[in-house]
Amino acid sequence: MRRLRCRTPVPSDLHISQSLKPLQISRIAKPLGILPQEMDSYGPYKCKIHLSVLNRMSCAKDGNYILVTGITPTPLGEGKTTVVLGLSQAFGAHLGIPTIATLRQPSQGPTFGMKGGAAGGGYSQVIPMEDFNLHLTGDIHAVGAANNLLAAALDTRMLHESNLSNEQLFDKLCPRRGTLGKRTFARGMLGRLQKLGISHEDPDSLTPEERQAFLRLDVDPQSISWKRVLDVCDRMLRVVEVGRGLKEGRPRDTGFDISVASEVMAVMALASDLGDLRARLGRIVVGSSHTGGREVTAEDVGCAGAMAVLLKDALKPTLMQSVEGTPVLVHAGPFANIAHGASSVIADRMGLKLVGERGYVITEAGFGADIGMEKFFNVKCRSSGLKPGAVVIVATVRALKHHGRGVLQQGLCNLEHHIRSALKFRVPTIVAINRFPGDSRDDIECLKSASLGAGALAAVECSHWEEGGRGAVDLAKAVEAACTPEAASKDQTGGFTLLYPNELPLRGKIERVAKDIYGAESVTYSSLALNRLNALESAGYGHFPVCCAKTHLSLSTDPTKLGAPKSFTVDVRDVKLSAGAGFVTPVLGDIMTIPGLPVRPIYFDVDIDKDGKIEGLF
Amino acid sequence: MRRLRCRTPVPSDLHISQSLKPLQISRIAKPLGILPQEMDSYGPYKCKIHLSVLNRMSCAKDGNYILVTGITPTPLGEGKTTVVLGLSQAFGAHLGIPTIATLRQPSQGPTFGMKGGAAGGGYSQVIPMEDFNLHLTGDIHAVGAANNLLAAALDTRMLHESNLSNEQLFDKLCPRRGTLGKRTFARGMLGRLQKLGISHEDPDSLTPEERQAFLRLDVDPQSISWKRVLDVCDRMLRVVEVGRGLKEGRPRDTGFDISVASEVMAVMALASDLGDLRARLGRIVVGSSHTGGREVTAEDVGCAGAMAVLLKDALKPTLMQSVEGTPVLVHAGPFANIAHGASSVIADRMGLKLVGERGYVITEAGFGADIGMEKFFNVKCRSSGLKPGAVVIVATVRALKHHGRGVLQQGLCNLEHHIRSALKFRVPTIVAINRFPGDSRDDIECLKSASLGAGALAAVECSHWEEGGRGAVDLAKAVEAACTPEAASKDQTGGFTLLYPNELPLRGKIERVAKDIYGAESVTYSSLALNRLNALESAGYGHFPVCCAKTHLSLSTDPTKLGAPKSFTVDVRDVKLSAGAGFVTPVLGDIMTIPGLPVRPIYFDVDIDKDGKIEGLF
């Protein structure tokens, strides 16, 4: 731990980060009981933790699992990450209770675009913030590499299938080798052979029908759902025509998503171990065949193994530290509006073991509780089986006034709505009031009483941004109280529950989320969406949870509707399958899967001098 | 150092790598005199070396600088990297002479495509080869991120310039801020202001003409030479139309290159330090203005500082080890056909200081001597000022028979041609005969005598692939002999010289390379190429060296012409400027700047088991 000396006024995030020399990362790892052979350093201040920790500690009891979520934010965000850090600094550096914060690695798109970094801020942040915000240990790049290998492999296969006869294709895929001229199947072909029910080991023994089925993925270009990705805000890549001017092959329209919103990232975030990662990658559906509309998977394309190899290190969470020297595990990616957008199951599970029964893992889910929290529970907790002990909803007077178009009382409905949503999952709910210098006493009190009125166990002012963990000690005490068995029974929450069972059909799930969580009156479907939902139910994906893509700026699908809109309709425009991640994504309203840059992006501020000192990141 | 026990037959590269436990990287760094605070570990077996080593050792004398190049290779390669490693293992592990091999980081495109990894092979390779071939320490990804940030920034600026009035643009770029409503210029705008000769610090004090010039980059979409990049073999991305279906902005044709062939990679490879990197990035020309055809640079776009920040760690070379525990510095990227394709100036310079006056830095230049070596001398040594002590040309009986269409004697002309090319730079030249099991004694002798006849100082058989450094001890002794002052004077090479002076006009440089190095009879130019060359001369880029893009499969521009073709013409199809890297690229014949995947790529072989063991990489 490190004792902070907080300055007033609070310097810039980058200044704070640069003025505090971090502890060697081994000094963060050791008190957690991580063995030296279980960590790979990446420079002095960060390391990756081996997954073997989970095996070694499989019998240890889990700590308390706390989710930090928020009200519907303004475009600048309301400080969820600072609350995660402030709260865990309060536990770890002020109350002497073991704690780990689990955060997502920021995307370099927003870092250089409009939002800036995502390391928290003020005296509640991760250091070195430059490392946190730039590349980190390369996980997002690895996700991009795996994603784009699959995209190239798919297009390549289509190209060669269209140019070559069955004989040519067979000779190239299974060439005669060695002095005996023997053909063999490659390792990456075995998955498809198994799916086709072919058990012969000798390619020459396939029947003509089997050979045809083995050779021809027969992908319908119109069916392809797999896109390429980059970790940059680049609206020109939303829709592109690839393959122009090739002598062979045909151009086709496709597009790029931002890497962190890719299915590969979700696979990594939801995988329980390396074997599960490999299996999920193989299940990724990239499109379907012309004849019969059979799904074509990454396993069929033959590169799921290579994708897993590209992700082998990315699957290990990265350990860093807060400004007060408390541990932070960084893993997986953000963008809870268009992705599931939570830190990884592996990092949370590792954290829960490492902090021990008395300890606390504090994690966050992106944007407002309507998207981040809903997905955290219905998608992530459903997949991991982990049960949260309490939810913290971050609220600011500034944002609630924004929701009330200047009048706080008229904006409180947004906070009240999110509190009631959290209680539907039967989790003790606490409001963290992220205090800003200009907030009046009346406003704070008003926010407190509205919180309690809506069912929150407590509503606590926090000043962790100016004061570090000391400013969140009251919040930590409220969280601790909420996690006692007595509090849970007194509050009659009766224990965590999911919003819907697996068995509910997909349309039922969408409607449950839209009505119970967004407050919609009705749900409509485009014919495209309806067809896709029906096809997914028939194909056996009806048991998947839904992971809606929706604006984060409103409870509704219209970003201009503030507060807690009523009588609105949710329009399901499209539906996508993420068979590897294990969810179905209804696309609600207009939502972009790769952002653009504004006129005056943050990169204008950023530079480095000849000695390596960075300026202008925040 | 580590004593090898070589097995017969030689197991697969991956098997050798997995069966040898590497030494902790600190044990490799320490004997070189690298201080603990000068290294950042990336796991136990690799670390990045701080550039401060160069400052600390600035007064130390340089070691001997040895370039390994080759004959015109077959598509599988003739073993240059294994010779680099075998030779440095011979020096370091068998002769007790300090040595460092400096290698390029492989591109993941070929690793999963047709070629496989590039860690050397057999008992002359870098370990762990999985780390070497996969992501390494993320440099190529960082290059891609910097490249693609500039691409997105350029398109964004064009979009907003076309949508906004001068007033709107001014208000967004320099918004009024604070209680006084004062406008300021961002750090990233200062470069453009300086270029425009504007010294006011207050945006409101610009004259209308100055404001117009500041606000409007006015980029002509037809002039844009900057492309996006990815580190994958994906032919569908060669030409793409971006920006389809955007409400604002216009679609345009552009394309992707493979990351390692990008100008950003060349900038990193040629930069002398962080300050030089930052300055070079700012000089990158992305296109020109509609009116007046003025160059638009990354500095004008305002993101050169952010690009440098993205590259701050990538600029540090990565230290690894050979199978015999000798040090290997890995930096920058391959593809000497379409890029300059050599390891970095920084890594070589660092290596030369670290090995000391008696020591040897062994580096390589890609493909045949006509492209890799020519660029190594005329581009890289011109930029660094470093002088090579000897050149090693790698030859195989197999490839020379291929050049002779089955008859060795008829293929020797290729080797003789490359030896004579090397001697034009007045560097002592040695032939390394990379022996294969089936090679006959007669063939080897024939190759030796041809080498000596063409002017090589020595021609030495090597068996480092089967035997490690022991199999290259004779080669090392020949290299050592060539580096003595006596040998240099006896050989009357008279010391290293460049092929052409800076002052020679660009067309003269192209013709010098085409005739003296490729053996062409004449050079023709497309009208596009001629216009560009004239424009570049007028714009003041005539003093740059040329870095030709040409097939690596022939001395000519036609990959089917084997041996040492005569009476051929080199057609200059296009010309590109790399103002940041500091060279001009004539595009000779048909050459692709992003490869495609074959029907049966290597990814079919690659997989990982649940314990993390990788299979199928080679």
8 Å CB contact between B219 and B287: yes
Q: How far is CA B579 from CA B42, B263, B360, B583, in A?
A: 33, 9, 32, 6
pLDDT at B429: 97
Distance from first CA to last CA of chain B, Å, rounded? 24
Q: What residues are paired with B575 via a beta bridge? A: B586
Closest residue by Cα to residue B413 from B522, B591, B521, B561: B561
CA dihedral A339, B141, A134, B319 (to 10 degrees): 140
Instruction: Say if residue B86's pLDDT is above 60.
Output: yes
Structure-block tokens of residue B327: 């040090």
Give residue A488's pLDDT: 60
| Facing residue for B233 by CB, picked from A108, A152, A607 | A152
pLDDT recorded at residue B489: 60
E strands, A57-147, where? 64-70, 99-103, 120-121, 124-127
In this structure, the number of other CB atoms found within 10 A of the CB of residue A155 comes to 27
Q: Encoding tokens for residue A135?
A: 């590349």
Q: In B432-449, which positions are buried (b, 16+ CB within 10 angstroms) versus exposed (e)?
A: bbbbeeebeeebbebbbe
What are A82-101's pLDDT values in tens digits? 999 999 999 999 999 999 99
Q: Across B187-317, where does the E strand assignment appear?
A: 228-230, 240-242, 252-254, 256-258, 285-288, 295-297
- Please report which helix (H) or strand (E) contains residue A597, including its range: none
Q: Do B242 and A244 touch (CB under 8 A)?
A: no
pLDDT tops 60 at residue B491: no
> How many percent of chain A have pLDDT more than 90?
91
Q: Taking 60 as the threshold, does the pLDDT of residue A115 lie above it?
A: yes
Chosen for mutation from A240, A252, A268 (greatest number of chain B CBs closer than 10 Å) is A240
Average pLDDT over residues A336-353: 95
B604:A186 CB<8 A: yes
Report CB contact under 8 Å: A159, B235.
Answer: yes
| pLDDT(B615) > 80 | yes
SS3 B356: coil
Give the pLDDT band (50/70/90) at residue A564: very high
- Taking CA atoms, A70 is separated from A339, A371, B17, in Å, by 17, 10, 49
Of the candidates A226, A256, A367, A496, the residue annotated as catalytic is A367
Q: Are A342 and A332 in contact (CB under 8 A)?
A: yes
Nearest in space to A109 (alpha carbons), one of A311, A329, A259, A254? A259
Question: Is the distance from CB of B289 to CB of B272 less than 8 angstroms?
Answer: no
Instruction: Give the number of other CB atoms < 10 A from CB of residue B2.
Output: 18
C-alpha B427: how far from chain center = 21
Residue B426 annotated as catalytic: no
Place of tokens 């475009």: A75
Q: Catalytic: A353?
A: no
> What are the chain A neighbours of B596 within 8 Å (beta carbons)?
156, 159
Q: Which residue of A has its CA nearest to B249?
A: A236
Nearest by CB: A309 against B308, B309, B614: B614
Q: How does pLDDT run across A251-309, given as a tens digit for each residue?
A: 999 999 999 999 999 999 999 999 999 999 999 999 999 998 899 999 999 999 999 99
Q: Are A77 and A117 in contact (CB under 8 A)?
A: no
Q: Provide mean pLDDT across the span B125-146.
A: 97
Q: Give the ipTM.
A: 0.97
HSE-up of residue A48 (Cα within 13 Å, Cβ side):
22
Q: Where would I find the H helices in A424-522? A: 441-453, 464-467, 473-482, 485-490, 506-512
- Cβ contact, residue pair A240, B238, below 8 Å: no
* Beta carbons of A398 and A434 less than 8 angstroms apart: no
CB contact under 8 A, B310 and A249: no
Please confirm, yes or no, whether B425 is among the known catalytic residues.
Answer: no
Instruction: Find the mean pLDDT for residues B511-540.
Output: 97
Residue type for position B548: C
What string of DSSP letters covers B270-293?
H-SSHHHHHHHHHH-EEEEBTTTT
Q: Please, which residues bridge with residue A318 across strands?
A: A48, A330
Residue type, A102: T
CA dihedral over B217, B223, B226, B232, signed as positive or negative = positive
Strands B327-330 and A522-525: unpaired
Three-state secondary structure string covering A561-588: CCCCCCCCEEEEEEEEEECCCCEEEEEE
Average pLDDT, chain A: 95
Mutant choice from B37, B50, B129, B149 vs A, greatest count of A C-beta within 10 A: B149
User: Catalytic annotation on A336?
Assistant: yes
What is the value of pTM for the model shown? Answer: 0.97
How confident is the model at residue A142, as a pLDDT? 98
Q: Closest by alpha carbon to A311, among A336, A275, A257, A335?
A: A275
Calculate how close chain A gets to B35, using CA atoms only, in Å.
14
pLDDT for A509-526, tens place per residue? 999 999 999 999 999 999
Nearest-angstrom CA–CA distance, A601 and B38: 34
The confidence band for B512, taking pLDDT boundaries of 50, 70 and 90, is very high
Mutation target vs B (from A309, A310, A319; most B CBs, 10 A cutoff)? A309
pLDDT tens by residue, A407-457: 999 999 999 999 999 999 999 999 999 999 889 999 999 999 999 999 999
Cβ within 8 Å of residue B499, ≥6 positions away: B374, B377, B378, B424, B425, B512, B513, B516, B517
Phi first, then psi: give them for residue A188, nearest 5 degrees: -75, 0
A23, pLDDT greater than 60:
yes
Active site residue A104: yes
What is the rounded CA–CA span in Å between residue B407 and residue A444? 90
Is residue B82 part of the annotated active site? The answer reads yes
Establish whether B336 is a catalytic residue: yes
Predicted local distance difference test score (pLDDT) of residue B399: 96
> What's the pLDDT score for residue B249?
79
Task: Judge whether A115 counts as a catalytic residue.
Answer: yes
| Cβ within 8 Å, pair A187-B604 | yes
**Range of weakest confidence among A97-101, A199-203, B516-520:** A199-203
Q: Which residue has the tokens 């209804």?
A: A586
Q: What angle do CA A544, A368, A563 make, to 5 degrees?
A: 120
Q: How many CB atoms lie within 10 A of CB B208?
A: 8
Nearest-CA distance from B421 to chain A in Å? 36
Between chains, do B244 and A241 touch, taking CB under 8 Å as contact?
yes
Please check whether residue B575 is in contact with residue B585, taking contact to mean a CB–CB distance below 8 angstroms: yes
Tens digits of per-residue pLDDT, B235-273? 999 999 999 989 887 899 999 999 999 999 999 999 999
A293: tokens are: 């509309």
